Structure 1
Amino acid sequence: MEFDLTWILLGLPVAFVLGWLASRFDLRQLRAENRRAPKAYFKGLNFLLNEQQDQAIDAFIEAVQNDPDTSELHFALGNLFRRRGEYDRAVRVHEHLLSRGDLSRTDRERAQHALALDFLKAGLLDRAEDALRRLEGTPFEAQARLALLAIYERSRDWPHAATIARKMHDADQGDFSTRQAHYLCEQALALSAQGDLPGAQALLEQAVAAAPEAARARIELARLQRLMGQPAAVLSTLKALGERNPAALPLAAPLMVEAATATGRTQEVHALLQAHYAQAPSLDVLESIVAMEAADETTRPSARQRYVEHLDKERSLVAAAKWLATEKLEHEEFHPQIQRALDHAVKPLTRYRCAACGFEARQHFWQCPGCQTWDSYPARRVEEL
């Protein structure tokens, strides 16, 4: 059987025409899909601007289905899910992005950061920690370290928190020396509770060296020295506090009076407190001075005048109530009722208030229980602010 070239010559034009028609059909289909994808995208954007998140999510899902390779649509969809609290769906979107082999390095790092935020918002701290650690050496490193620091503080993992704070300090991301001193103090308190007083003292001395201006390290060290029966060391530590950070002395004034009584150095401490009070009148320092004078028979009458002198400097309802407690009234039988009413009225004025969030507490905190901010409580009472 002979091979006939005629059929080949006739088939070539037919194949060309069919190929051309197929290409035109694919091109039309691609154009139609491209038109549908932007339309869905802009529809979703319009819903977002109108704060219609449900409709925006539906539109973006449609856009992703039409163009599954577009990473920006995936990011927009994942962020929407996270804002709505649908963290499991946000995680699936960002994990899908990370599973793609054609994703650029920039988008991969961005997806890893978004995944870490999903875990953080969902409260999955262990998975968030792992995701954040993968961001070392990326443009998101600084943000990841801040998030890790918050995780370790929240879980009270002070050694890991100290490591992250040291890295951030060395990388010039801020001065974290005071924060590191707080972490050392927290670890020292744990050792002290376990009975390891020498170990706690070593950590507190490290804290003082790390942040010489920080008040907490010296105050905690003085408390530990009192526990160890070293009143002379307590006085030495608190005198250094008064020199380095005089604004924090009201927090340590009662402890200083106790140490002065134990060492017989009351005159020295009395003079020191008076000098501090003259520079910055404070209710706590005033109370310590009054307590010292009340214990001395020779100065007891003058102690009653301290509150009156304070009222000349400050309009203090607390000082007025304390002065009234020592005075004789014309109708003395009504004094207890009046005094109880005054004490009740001044109680809120003797609290401490967080400067960051306004959370008030009867005791002074180094880290606010409300907003978790460090050193946000001034050493002065609400009435003095």
Structure 2
Amino acid sequence: MNFDLSWILLGLPFAFVLGWIASRMDIRQLRFENQQAPKAYFKGLNFLLNEQQDEAIDAFIEAVQNDPDTSELHFALGNLFRRRGEYERAVRVHEHLLSRGDLSLADRQRAQHALALDYLKAGLLDRAEAALLKLEGTPFEAQARLSLLASYERSRDWPQAALVAQKLDASKKGNFQGRLAHYLCEKAATSITQQRPEDAVAALNEAIATAPEAARPRLDLARLLSNQGNAQAAYATLAMAIDASPSAIPLIASPLAEYAFSAGQTTDALQLLRTNYEAAPSLDVLDAIVLLQASSDAASPTPRDWYVRHLEREPSLVAAAKWIAGEKLEHEQFHPQVQRALDHAVKPLTRYRCAACGFEAKQHFWQCPGCQTWDSYPARRVEEL
């Protein structure tokens, strides 16, 4: 059979034209789809910058529908849901990401971390723990361990918290010796509640060895020894605490004076506190000195003279109120009203304030009740900060 080459020559340009038209149509469709997703994405970003989270979520959902394979949009949407407290929707987004077979290893690890944060925020601690443990050996390992640590602290699982803190300390992600000492103190408190004082003493001694500069283990140990009737050992423990933790002397002063009375060490305690007060004046140390001075044979300075001396060094409304309490005024009949007003005015000044979140409390906390930060309360009261 003979082929007419002229038909082939005529057909080649036609085929070329058809191919060109088809390619142009594909390019236009691709451009249209690519324009739709970025447009919705940038719209959502604009809403987010203007703190319009509802509109931002709607825009990101539209972007995800236009381009369901874009993992970044899913991450943005999941994070928005978590920030708004819609944890169930955030979990669904991140679980959808993890179910995709084409997800890269880096994005899979990132999605696993995001899912763990969703569970933590939702208070599902068991699921959060399981999700965080899967991040061992990944770039999110350190973050996962810190989250696990917070979770164990929240559930008061001190043995598990100690294990995680030891791993973090060994990996040089910070100094966790102080936290480990706190965990041992919490363990000791549990042992005391369960009538196991020997275990409590062992835990507190281990805490002192773990963090020699920490004040809490020695304070707790001294209290335990005092309750057992060993005032001499309790006093000696706090005397060593002053050398080990000079910044915590305001917390140590009052119980030191108390144990000094029981142990017959008032003279030594008075000398110790006076030496430290001269180096760093403090209201709590001053109160302990006044208490000890009142029971000593020393005639000068009198207890009230100490408050005048303090006012010469530090402008303190608290010290002034305590000095006036024992002073005879010209119009003594109005003294109770004046004293009551002064006592009311100084109350906020005698509180402790968290350095991390500003939460104020009448008593000193080792872990802030507001932000859960350890050792964020200075030993000094608000007036002295």
TM-score (norm 2): 0.89
Specify the alignment match of 1:340 in structure 2. 340
The aligned amino acid for 2:296 is D
Letter of the structure 2 residue corresponding to residue 346 of structure 1: V
Q: Tell me if the contact between 2:44 and 2:60 (Cα under 8 Å) persists in the aligned partners.
A: no
Q: Please, which moves more after superposition, 212-221 or 113-122? A: 113-122
Q: Take 2:198 and 2:106, find their aligned partners in 1: how far apart are those partners?
A: 50
After TM superposition, the structure 1 stretch with the greater mean CA deviation from structure 2, 45-54 or 115-124, is: 45-54
In 2, are the aligned partners of 1:45 and 1:56 still within 8 Å (CA)? no
Cα deviation 1:195-219 (Å, max 9, x = unaligned): 2111111111111000000111111
Corresponding residue for residue 373 of structure 1: 373
- Count residues in correspondence: 375
Matches within 5 A, 1:1-385: 28=25, 32-33=29-30, 35-50=32-47, 51=50, 52-296=52-296, 298-299=298-299, 302-385=302-385
For residues 84-116 of structure 1, what are the alpha-carbon distances to aligned partners after superposition, in whole Å with 9 as ceiling and x for unaligned?
333222211211111122222111111111111
Letter in 2 for 1:134: K
CA contact (8 A) 1:270 1:292 kept: yes
> 1:350-377, CA deviations, whole angstroms, 9 ceiling, x for partnerless residues?
1111111111111111111111111111
C-alpha separation between the residues in 2 aligned to 1:266 and 1:135? 56
Give the C-alpha shift of residue 82 in structure 1. Answer: 2.6
User: How far apart, in 2, do the equivalents of 1:23 and 1:95 lie?
Assistant: 43
Gaps of 5+ in 2: 1-10
Alpha-carbon distance in structure 2 between the residues aligned to 1:29 and 1:213 = 71
Aligned amino acid, residue 325 of structure 2: A
- Deviations 1:202-238 (Å, cap 9, x if unpaired)? 1111110000001111111111111111111112211
- Does structure 1 retain, via aligned residues, the 8 Å contact 2:91–2:115? yes
Q: 1:333 to 1:272 in 2, by over 3 A?
A: same
Task: Kindly state the Cα deviation for residue 39 of structure 1 after the two structures are TM-superposed.
Answer: 2.1
Q: 1:43 to 1:229 in 2, by over 3 A?
A: same
Separation in structure 2 between the aligned mates of residue 209 and residue 78 of structure 1, nearest angstrom: 45
Aligned to 2:5: none
Is the CA contact (8 Å cut-off) linking 1:294 and 1:300 kept in structure 2?
A: no
Find the residue that maps to 2:281 and give its secondary structure.
Answer: coil
Q: Distance in 2 between matches of 1:277 and 1:74?
A: 60
User: Offset at 1:55?
Assistant: 4.3
User: How has the CA–CA distance of structure 1 residues 132 and 34 changed in structure 2, closer, same or farther, with 3 Å as cutoff?
Assistant: farther
Distance 1:276 1:122 in 2: 49
Distance across 2 between alignment mates of 1:160 and 1:215:
23
The answer to whether the 8 A contact 1:116-1:132 is kept is yes
**Deviates further, 213-222 or 44-53:** 44-53
Indicate if the aligned counterparts of 1:253 and 1:284 stay in contact, CA closer than 8 A.
Answer: yes
In 1, Cα distance between the equivalents of 2:179 and 2:286? Answer: 31
Structure 1 pair 61–296 and aligned structure 2 pair: CA distance change class (3 A): closer
Tell me, yes or no, if the aligned pair for 2:329 and 2:335 is still in contact at 8 Å. yes
Q: For 2:21 and 2:71, how far apart are their aligned partners in 1? A: 28
Q: CA RMSD in A?
A: 2.8
How many Å apart are 1:299 and its aligned residue?
Answer: 3.4
Q: Aligned in 2, Cα 1:26/1:201: closer, same or farther, shift over 3 Å? A: farther
AA aligned opposite 1:379: A
User: Secondary structure at the residue paired with 1:372?
Assistant: coil
Q: Classify 1:66/1:317 alpha carbon distance in 2 versus 1 (closer, same or farther; 3 Å).
A: closer
Partners in 2 of 1:63 and 1:31 — Cα distance? 19
Provide the rounded CA distance (Å) in 2 between the counterparts of 1:151 and 1:23.
Answer: 61
Change (3 A) 1:30 1:126: farther
CA distance in 2, matches of 1:190, 1:139: 36
Is contact 2:44–2:56 with CA below 8 Å preserved after alignment? Answer: yes
Name the CA distance, whole Å, in 1 between partners of 2:160 and 2:384: 38
Amino acid at match of 1:322: K
Between 1:81-90 and 1:174-183, the stretch displaced more is 81-90
State how far apart, in whole Å, the 1-side matches of 2:59 and 2:302 are: 79
- Equivalent residue letter for 1:114: A
CA distance in 2, matches of 1:270, 1:333: 36
Secondary structure (helix, strand or coil) at the match of 2:302 reads helix
SS in 1 for 2:85: coil
The 2-side partners of 1:90 and 1:29 are apart by 35
TM-score, length basis structure 1: 0.89
Between the aligned residues of both structures, percent identity stands at 62
In terms of mean alpha carbon deviation, does 320-329 or 271-280 score higher? 320-329
Given that 1:222 and 1:233 are in contact with CA atoms closer than 8 Å, whether structure 2 keeps it comes out as yes
What one-letter code is carried by the residue in structure 1 that aligns with 2:174?
Answer: G
